[in-house]
Structure 1
Amino acid sequence: MYELMPNEKKFVQIINIKDGGFVEFNFAVGEAVMNVELLLPYRAFIEFCQNNRVSFFTKEQENELLIDNKNWKYGLN
């Protein structure tokens, strides 16, 4: 595999580990609030994280994401 957008910071946030060893997670490039939800088998998740040199969301980023999701859901933007 190769690294996506090598000059950008990338982040992951694990949402859930499902039966069967699948990891459900958010993946962001640059800003935590601009993310996609992905699902990969555990080994593929580890490889994805290593190849993309990801960091885990900070508490601040997690809070920003919660606020943004609430604003989006309730139309507060």
Structure 2
Amino acid sequence: MPLSPNDQRYVRVVERDERWVEFEFSIGDPEIFVELVMPPAHFQQFCVDQSAQTLPAPSDRI
């Protein structure tokens, strides 16, 4: 199924330090995501480029 450019994008930061941001990225459904790691400046630009909505930190998942 092709993605529509209007599908909402989401990011959820899992862990961050001075060098890296580990986060979940999803399109359409925040429960289906990929885990990504980027330097902080790249993460900020990624969020802008994707018009991503930031979700609260993850709760413990089973």
User: What residue in structure 2 maps to residue 47 of structure 1?
Assistant: 45
Q: Which has the larger radius of gyration?
A: 1
User: Aligned partners of 1:48, 1:17: CA distance in 2, in Å?
Assistant: 15
Contact 1:23 1:40 in 2 (8 A): yes
Quote the offset at 1:6 in angstroms. 2.3
In percent, how many aligned pairs have the same letter? Answer: 27
- In the other structure, the counterpart of 1:33 is 31
TM-score, normalisation: structure 1: 0.65
Query: How many aligned residue pairs are there?
Result: 60
Residue 47 of structure 1, CA deviation: 0.5
* Structure 1: gaps of 5 or more residues: 71-77
CA contact (8 A) 1:12 1:57 kept: yes
Q: Greater helix share, 1 or 2?
A: 1
Relative to structure 1, is the Cα distance of residues 58 and 17 closer, same or farther in structure 2, using a 3 angstrom cutoff?
closer
How far is 1:56 from its partner?
1.1
Of the two structures, which has the highest relative contact order with CA contacts closer than 8 Å and spacing of 6 or more?
2
Query: What is the Cα-based RMSD across aligned positions, in Å?
Result: 2.3
SS of the residue aligned with 2:48?
helix
Q: Who is 2:55 aligned against? A: 57
Q: Is the partner of 1:27 in helix, strand or coil? A: strand
After TM superposition, which residue ranges in structure 1, 4 or more long, deviate above 2 angstroms? Answer: none
